Amino acid sequence: MKKIILVLVSSLLFLGILAGCGQSSNQAQTSDDQIQTVHIVAEDWKFIPDTINVKPGKVKFVIENKAKRMHGFAIDELGINESLAPGKTVEKIVDVKEAGSYTFYCSVVCGDLDQHGGMKGTLTV
């Protein structure tokens, strides 16, 4: 009887170890697919921050319009062109593969052209 209990306990321990190994393997795969998140606020005639640094890979842009007028957020090279209603937040995920500098800007004319021309920033990969 003691032999049967010893075999059962040993078997359960072995299965527990195998189950633990399987879980860590899945976690390693998901860590390869990590998404970088960048928060940007659109205000009257400016983006905060206006300089952003990311690594190559998937990037999630979370753009919040805190102004009382429409704004846009565009990065031509990455195919991003989002409209932002007042008080709304938009999310966009893109795969940034090429290192370099990209200009982001407000794609909606939201006021005086002199002021609006300063509503831009730089994304560096």
7-47 confidence digits (pLDDT tens)? 444 554 444 444 444 433 222 222 346 999 999 999 988 99
Task: Report the CATH number that the domain containing residue 86 is assigned in CATH.
Answer: 2.60.40.420
Task: State residue 98's pLDDT score.
Answer: 94
- In the chain, the percentage of residues whose pLDDT exceeds 70 is 67
39-58 confidence digits (pLDDT tens)? 999 998 899 999 999 999 99
Task: State residue 72's pLDDT score.
Answer: 94
Whole-angstrom distance, CA of residue 119 vs CA of residue 106: 6
Looking at the structure, tell me whether residues 70 and 113 fall in a common domain: yes
Residue 115 has which token pair?
Answer: 């002021």
Residue 57 has which token pair?
Answer: 């890979």
Block residue for tokens 């009257």: 44
Looking at the structure, tell me whether residues 116 and 68 fall in a common domain: yes
Residue range 88-116: mean pLDDT, rounded: 86
Into how many domains does the chain fold?
Answer: 2
At 50, phi and psi to the nearest 5? Answer: -105, 0
Residues 6+ apart with CB under 8 A from 29: none
- Domain containing 61: what range? 36-124
Whole-angstrom distance, CA of residue 125 vs CA of residue 121: 13
Residue 116: left (phi > 0), alpha (psi -120 to 50), or beta? alpha
Whole-angstrom distance, CA of residue 104 vs CA of residue 107: 9
Task: State residue 32's pLDDT score.
Answer: 44
